[in-house]
Amino acid sequence: MRKLLLATAAMALSAGVASAEEVKIGLSLGFTGPLESLAPNMASGAELAIKEVSDSGKLLDGSTVVAVRADNTCIDAAASVAAVERLVTSDKVNGIMGGMCSGETIASLERVGVPNGMVMISPSATSPALTDIEDQGFFFRTSPSDSRQGEVMAEIAQEKGVNSVAITYTNNDYGKGLAESFKAAFEARGGKVTMISAHDDGKADYSAEVGALAAAGGDALAVVGYVDQGGSGVMRGVLDAGAFDVFILPDGMVGQPVVDRFGTELEKSFGQNPAAEGEGRDKYVELAKEAGFDGTSAFAAESYDATALMLLAMQAAGSSDPRVYKDKVMEVANAPGEKIGPGDLARGLELLAAGEDIDYDGASAVEFVEPGESAGTYREVDFKGGTLNAVGTR
């Protein structure tokens, strides 16, 4: 009998070990390219959630979690597709936190994610086109659509006394979508758009664009671009020409890098980026500081949340197979259930393992609307005193 009991115990222990696995989360971000200054903190946000879950030992019978980074360049669709293909076929990841920019996200989702049944949760791809994309339930985003951001931009601009604007936008899905959303919302509020035109990234000289914008004029220039690329290039030319001294800056331009470049030249400027406020964000920022990175950096909180949602959905489904756990993402993101925030992931895993419901609020006040994207909360900022200052939430 004793031998039978020992054999049974050994079999049970062996089964427990066998059920654990190494779960891989791909991080598809633009470590080079127009937003390369934001990518490191976004990756660190994702890896903070991965470490929290892995260290807990509570995911899927003690499974560990590792991150696999991939540089999608953020702007090159072919490079993005190749990077995501490697994550899926060579690295055999169980989910992808990404993409980062809208165009490359659309390309990698359509060409790799959906055909291979891979869950992708983007923290920062905001094009309205992603709302209606045929994703077969595999795509989600913890950032809101730019349809909402355009309305917020127009609201803030009007409150700041801006009655006329010129708009320059980076020539891709993100830039065009947000620029058009802002234009429609601004004009609906009675504002005048003097000019709307695209600029290409990677140019050494933006004098032609600057000349056209200066001729059009306006109370402010809305720069719908990238801080590490053409957006800053156009701004430098405009400032040198004395054409505008008020800039309206959306998410792709908001961050410490724009302050480092322009400092007190932004004294009259303002903008916004997706971000929440409250206990969840405060806790996340504290955890990020302890981990040695800036949790207030644009889309870093959304990266933590995108990763946490995948891992919590796996626990709810009892499987790391994206074809299975995709159906649990919306469920763990929204009510009903016990509220779960940053630092509480182990508790969330315990509740899900016990068959209980959770409502993941996370670091960015997660609340998903169909077809699986953030309802949208924005941090309003200004740059008075040559610093980036949060002045409100909308």
Same domain, 217 and 304: no
User: What pLDDT is attached to residue 7?
Assistant: 39
Same domain, 40 and 137: yes
**Full domain range(s) for residue 313:** 2-145+278-374
User: What pLDDT is attached to residue 275?
Assistant: 85
Domain count, the chain: 2
CA distance 262 to 260: 6
Read off the amino acid at residue 330.
Answer: M
Q: Is the pLDDT of residue 12 over 80?
A: no
Same domain, 102 and 180: no
Same domain, 294 and 249: no
Q: What's the chain's Rg over C-alpha atoms?
A: 22
CA distance 102 to 77: 10
User: What pLDDT is attached to residue 9?
Assistant: 38
Indicate the pLDDT class of residue 2, thresholds 50, 70 and 90. very low
Q: Is 299 left (phi over 0), alpha (psi -120 to 50) or beta?
A: left
Same domain, 262 and 306: no
User: What pLDDT is attached to residue 75?
Assistant: 87
208-245 per-position pLDDT tens digit: 999 999 999 999 999 999 999 999 999 999 999 999 99
Structure tokens given for 355: 């068959």
Residues in the chain: 394
Same domain, 249 and 298: no
Task: For residue 327, give every residue at least 6 positions away whose Cβ sits within 8 Å of its Cβ, in sequence order, or none.
Answer: 137, 317
Indicate the pLDDT class of residue 6, thresholds 50, 70 and 90. very low
Same domain, 253 and 344: no
pLDDT more than 70, % of the chain? 95
CA distance 69 to 379: 28
Q: What is the pTM (predicted TM-score) of this model?
A: 0.86
Same domain, 7 and 152: no
Give the CA angle between residues 116, 176, 79 to the nearest 5°.
Answer: 40
Please list the alpha-helical segments (H only) found in 93-141.
102-108
User: What pLDDT is attached to residue 376?
Assistant: 83
Same domain, 168 and 265: yes
Q: Is 281 left (phi over 0), alpha (psi -120 to 50) or beta?
A: alpha
143-195 per-position pLDDT tens digit: 999 999 999 999 999 999 999 999 999 999 999 999 999 999 999 999 999 99
The domain spanning residue 76 has which CATH number? 3.40.50.2300
Q: Could you tell me which of 376, 304, 380, 312 has the C-alpha nearest to residue 342?
A: 304
Read off the amino acid at residue 245.
Answer: D
Same domain, 69 and 201: no
Residues 31-35, mean pLDDT to the nearest whole number? 93
Same domain, 24 and 135: yes
CB 209 within 8 A of CB 171: no
Same domain, 238 and 192: yes
Residues 301-312, mean pLDDT to the nearest whole number? 98
